[in-house]
Amino acid sequence: MGAILVYLILAYIFIKMFKSPWVAALGYLTFGIMQPQYIWFWHFDGLPMSTSKLLAIFTILAWFIALVNKKISFKVYKKKQNVVLLVMWILIHLSHIFSPFPIYSAGVPAEIVLETLNTIMILYFFSIGLLVSETALKALSITLVITVVYYVYWSNDQYLSYNWSQFKNGRLMGPRGSIYRDENVFSTIFMVGVPFILYSFFYIKSRILKYSIFIVIPLLWHSLFLAGSRGAMLATIISTFIASRLSKSKVFDKILIIGFIVALITQGGSMLNRSNETIAASQNSSSEEKLDPRLVSWQHGISHIKNHIFLGVGPQRFQHATRVYFPSSVSHVAHNTLISLSAHSGILVGLLYLYLYWLSYKSYKFCVKNGVEKYPIIDYINKATTTALAGVFICAIFLNLEIFEPFYYLLVISIVKQQVFENKLAEESSNKQGKN
């Protein structure tokens, strides 16, 4: 029965994309962040082709259909964000070709990572041209909220049903085989959803949906604590604080902050205990030992950057380079997206990665400066996307998120939001000139 439903959804997307090509791109991006093939894996077994590949084909086909029907927004391709991503993509491949370590050992070969990155980038560029409309923008945000709410349900269900096999060292892992299988990365999807759910309180008209947020948010915090990532917790604190400031509601502000403190005290004991144990272990150890293995990894990464500043050591060669340059040290992964990108592919790639966040902030300020509050949906997405990316940046300090699909999903929303708003401004200006 489930397999039939999958076929029906695919058939609907295929038929719908001839009239509304953006639906195919939405389907692919939704599949990428929801990872349903790992949640309901029994419904996807036996399919003649990977659903993800099929949706990718639909998206590319939809782009050409839209091109014929003159429904592609070419203006969106002129944005700086696209140039930055394209240059990063090229440099990462060059760093692989010209790596000083052509022969290396790694848990995951560079070819697999590059193949994943290629897919993400190609579909990113095909998708953005299809999604420039207020309807598509709204659908992107709703899809993200639904995905996060489902994972809130799924994670709490694992806990309440005593499915301890899904826990590792007391921490909840995401669906096995998915991009969320690591408990730290799994925490990040909840952090991404926090601003989209919080800000919706001020834009949703339905009272039932509006006040259901006060049920969803505590459960989301509980999901975050179950996964147990301290980095994601810090990012959530910062995102929650930003949301409380931008909401401009003192009552909502107080409820939110007090609620999170209570949740942290009552539900976040394991994370707080882990932090205390780490600090205690550091105080009792010799001065030569580091507080956290990440600090050792970061030092190694900085050394790799200095030694190979232009193209790095090559994708997936961090551990191998560490074994070569620091043979007496324990080999670690970078545990930091900026250091990982810079060490693997050169300092310019790392700087461009930081520039993506700056462009997001500039986009936010541009929208605010030009009166985005007149368009509630765009205003909501402007705040939520910027806040979510701020949280991702915090998580990226402690995790390797180079091919974390929700990050690119947020970049899609950010650039589409910018173009939709610019189109609104152009339409507004045209109407004024027409009246004059």
**% of residues, the chain, pLDDT over 70:** 93
282 pLDDT above the threshold of 80: no
Domain boundary assignment for the chain: 1-72, 74-282+292-428
Is the pLDDT assigned to residue 42 strictly greater than 90? no
Q: What is the mean pLDDT of the chain?
A: 90
Q: Are 386 and 13 in contact (CB under 8 A)?
A: no
pLDDT at 286 over 80: no
pTM of the model: 0.93
DSSP three-state, residue 166:
helix
Residue 283: the pLDDT is 47
CA geometry: angle 378, 427, 17, nearest 5 deg: 65
CA distances (Å), 346 to each of 28, 109, 324, 353, 400, in order? 31, 19, 18, 11, 16
Residue 172's φ and ψ, nearest 5 degrees, are -75, 130
Q: Please report the pLDDT score of residue 287 as a whole number.
A: 43
* Cα angle 413, 418, 420; round to 5: 90
Using alpha carbons, list the distances in angstroms from residue 172 to 65, 81, 131, 156, 335. 43, 35, 34, 10, 19
At residue 328, the pLDDT reads 76
Nearest residue to 318 (alpha-carbon basis) of 30, 1, 77, 99: 99
Residue 276: pLDDT above 70?
Answer: no
What is the Cα 80 distance to its own chain's centre?
19
In what helix (H) or strand (E) does residue 355 lie, and over which residues does it extend? helix 347-369
Distances from the Cα of 246 to the Cαs of 198, 214, 242, 254, 295, in angstroms? 11, 18, 6, 13, 34
